[in-house]
Amino acid sequence: MIVKIIFLLMLALPALFLACSSDQGLCQADTCAPHGTCVIGNEGPSCVCDEFYQPGPNPSCIFQTGLLMGQHCIDDANCLSDRCLIYTGDTEGYCTTTECIIDRDCINHSDDNRDMCCVEVDAAYFICLKIAEGYACSNGPLPCGVPCADDPDICYPLPCIGDGEDDPNATCASPCATDADCNTCEWGEDPNAEFACVLIENGGKYCLVDQSEPCNTSADCPEGETCTIGVSHDMTDLFGKCMNIGGMPPGSECNDEDDPNDLSYEERCSGFYCLGGMCSEVCVEDTDCPEGMICEVLRFSNVDDEILVCMGDKSCDGPAGCADGDSCWPTQRGNELSGWCRANEGTDPVGTECTDADATCEVFCIEPLCTEWCTLDADCPEGMACETIDFCLAEPCDDPENMAAGTVCTGP
């Protein structure tokens, strides 16, 4: 009896061995590849798949679909919404939608515990975005000034900008035109910090924490920085502040007609402004300026203040003081007028008949004749004299403070 039982067990063993060998053979090198690994379980072979892939038939690993809002993804096809938001430079992002209407349309189904809000992007569409910890959807999009050095993606759709990639003071930065556009920015590190509208190296102006040092001349600034013109948030004061917003140092030749915002960093003055054909800086006296420049009063039409800056010396007493192709124009400096060489605008020389409505003068027209700045009668063509007249610098012209005297060539 015992012998018979042992015999039966011995007969059964080969069958078990064969069954095991058959299952193991299903895990070939290409089974589940290239996005998973084949394993043998109680029910036979199956796939342990890489992230973003799921077990399929045969067995295999197929691309994972049907991921919910907020879950990690690498392709639009991952997401039930067909929209995987991946920030520039990243290889993966999260599922979102560009069809949200209210915040309740944006539920984060991932385990990162970040809120998602329905945010308007460039007035073109709304998108569900994850926001930084500590902010709520009721606050709207993240304001400029939120620190972002540890997580640049939290600023989207704003950029995260700092002084270099490792700047611990990097913040979410909104685009701007003037410092006044940055009045609503708040910096968590210092609630009293002010923001400035800064032209960054790769172009564009953004609101950044104003950590620039005040200055009277560039000698007050750290090496490599220029004392350039700052404007107060309320657009009432002009002052000097140390910055470096271009690759051309003060005194470099430049074109007054160029818009610095349209220039590359290498083509732009370090102090931003080109005045008199040379890159400018803030000054106190002529000796603060590079050779060929003088320290002159500058006023902006939209700021009720003035500041001393270096200008390329193009002053003139009359036409003889200017190069060919230039004329001596009356130019406002502070509340006064003086002569300044500028390129001719028309073809008709001084003394040609003209009308204010239809003038083609090299300089400008004071009916009935084309004219320009002068000091002596000898500066004017025969038959004309150098006389003092009043110019209106700003409206209303009946206010004496808006008037300035200048000397120009006039007819008999």
What's the pLDDT tens digit per position in 199-216?
A: 775 567 788 887 778 999
What's the pLDDT tens digit per position in 264-323?
A: 778 889 998 999 899 999 999 999 999 999 998 887 877 888 899 999 988 898 888 898
pLDDT at 45 over 70: yes
The answer to whether residues 73 and 92 touch, using CB atoms and an 8 Å cutoff, is yes
| Rounded distance between C-alpha atoms, residue 145 and residue 207, angstroms | 8
Confidence of residue 365 (pLDDT cuts 50, 70, 90): very high
Predicted pLDDT at 19: 35
Hey, where are the domains in the chain? 142-211, 214-312, 319-410
What's the pLDDT tens digit per position in 79-137?
A: 988 899 988 778 889 999 888 877 778 888 888 878 888 887 765 678 888 887 767 67
Model-level pTM greater than 0.75? no
Q: 377 in the Ramachandran plot: left (φ > 0), alpha (ψ -120 to 50) or beta?
A: alpha
Predicted pLDDT at 42: 80
The answer to whether residues 199 and 260 touch, using CB atoms and an 8 Å cutoff, is yes
| Rounded distance between C-alpha atoms, residue 335 and residue 333, angstroms | 6
pLDDT at 65 over 80: yes
Residue 312: is it exposed, middle or buried by C-beta count within 10 angstroms (0-12/13-18/19+)? buried
Is the preceding peptide bond at 59 cis, omega within 30 degrees of 0? yes
| Rounded distance between C-alpha atoms, residue 217 and residue 29, angstroms | 72
Residue at token pair 């054909």: 277
The segment with the largest mean pLDDT, out of 72-81, 217-226, 259-268, 312-321, is 217-226
Predicted pLDDT at 34: 86
Which is higher by pLDDT, 334 or 378?
A: 378
| Rounded distance between C-alpha atoms, residue 268 and residue 262, angstroms | 9
Instruction: Give percent of the chain with pLDDT exceeding 70.
Output: 86
Tell me, what amino acid is at 192?
N
**What does the DSSP assignment read for 313-375?**
--B-SSGGGS-TTEEEEEEEETTEEEEEEEE--SSBPTT-B-BTTB--BSSEEETTEEE-B-S
Q: What is the mean pLDDT of residues 165-186?
A: 78
| Rounded distance between C-alpha atoms, residue 377 and residue 90, angstroms | 72
Confidence of residue 7 (pLDDT cuts 50, 70, 90): very low
Residues 6+ apart with CB under 8 A from 290: 250, 251, 278, 310
Other Cβ atoms less than 10 A from the Cβ of 75: the count is 15
C-alpha count within 13 angstroms, C-beta hemisphere, residue 316: 23
Predicted pLDDT at 368: 92
Q: What does pLDDT average to over the chain? A: 81
